[in-house]
Amino acid sequence: MDVNFDLTVVWAFIIAFGIFAYVVMDGFDLGIGILFPSFKVGEGRNRAMNSIAPVWDGNETWLVLGGGGLFAAFPLAYAVILPATYPLIVAMLLGLVFRGVAFEFRWRDPRHRPFWDLAFASGSFVAALTQGMTLGAILQGIEVSGRAYAGSWWDWLTPYTLLTGLGVVAGYALLGATWLIWKLDGPPQDHAYKVARRAAVATLVLLVAVSLYTPLLDEDYWRRWFEMPSVLFAAQVPLLTAILAYLLFRALARRHEATPFWISLGIFLLGMAGLGVSMWPYVVPDQITIWDAAAPERSQVFMLVGVALTLPLIIAYTGWAYWVFRGKVGHEGYH
């Protein structure tokens, strides 16, 4: 096993970690935005937003790590995936911009607060939907010719990508609801329990639908999920997901506060594991492996030194921010 192979695998896991960290941390931010219209104007919405005010912008650091790492470590994959999903990426970035602007302006422009609330909710929904559709567009396959994207402008728009997009929207809503259960009390927390149950049902139904649809897209997917010996490993993913789903509904019924959020993260982690079962070792399914797409060895070594220095710092200051702002959100809030 040569050095380049090892570094390529290391970088694949670094980027996977960055993507999962983004999904976990910005996922519940976006989920709160998706659920925002369901909360009562006034205390409910203000406290929901205050629960993420100290951390929401720092959470997006992981998006930079995932996207920047893909560009630096796997430039060929970046050059193929982005042209295939440009409309989705542009829509996602615009959604994140609208959400960020609305976050600040709803406090500084009370006269137009209903408009900023709408911008916050719609920006969150669009960002979540397009992230899920981007995942679906990659999984359903990208047409490649001569190391370049060879498909059309609209290849990303299919029933499958809409299904994955809605699945991510429901999953983020679940993360947001369980986060609010943890951080709020009183009537807003009661409402969070109610929407968490609905979001959990929607998430699991869409997760099952995507899981059944994906093996039908490609023969390789089917083999990895249903043929020996890979099925022995792959079967553990839905089994563990079913167990966590049961524990989630039980925790919600017993009105546990922190537990539902951690169980929801576990379901997302298993979703990432299922994604790995389907795709590994391809970064563009059936077209480009991680080794085909990898940057030169010297570039990987150079970047790895930088990541080794900065990643612990990012984890440390993120953990410190969450520790400082632990506990329930009061009525005064961050703003």
Q: What is the pLDDT of residues 128-146, one digit of tens each?
A: 999 999 999 999 988 888 8
Q: What is the pLDDT of residue 177?
A: 95
Q: What is the pLDDT of residue 326?
A: 82
Q: What is the pLDDT of residues 248-271, one digit of tens each?
A: 999 999 999 999 999 999 999 999
- For the chain, the average pLDDT equals 87
Backbone angles phi and psi of 229, in degrees to 5: -90, -5
Q: What is the pLDDT of residues 62-105, one digit of tens each?
A: 888 888 888 888 888 888 898 989 999 999 999 999 888 888 88
pLDDT band at residue 3 using 50, 70 and 90 as cut-offs: very low
pLDDT band at residue 2 using 50, 70 and 90 as cut-offs: very low
Q: What is the pLDDT of residues 5-14, one digit of tens each?
A: 578 888 888 8
Read off the pTM: 0.91
Segment 155-181 mean pLDDT = 94
Segment 164-176 mean pLDDT = 95
Q: What is the pLDDT of residue 146?
A: 81
Q: What is the pLDDT of residue 47?
A: 86
Q: What is the pLDDT of residue 123?
A: 93
Lowest average pLDDT, out of 30-39, 157-166, 292-301, goes to 292-301
Asked if the model's pLDDT at residue 327 lies above 50, the reply is yes
Most confident of 22-31, 145-154, 197-206, 274-283: 197-206
Segment 148-156 mean pLDDT = 86
Asked if the model's pLDDT at residue 4 lies above 50, the reply is no
Segment 149-165 mean pLDDT = 90
Segment 25-38 mean pLDDT = 90
pLDDT band at residue 39 using 50, 70 and 90 as cut-offs: confident
Asked if the model's pLDDT at residue 162 lies above 80, the reply is yes
Q: What is the pLDDT of residue 331?
A: 63
Distance CA 208, CA 153 (A): 29
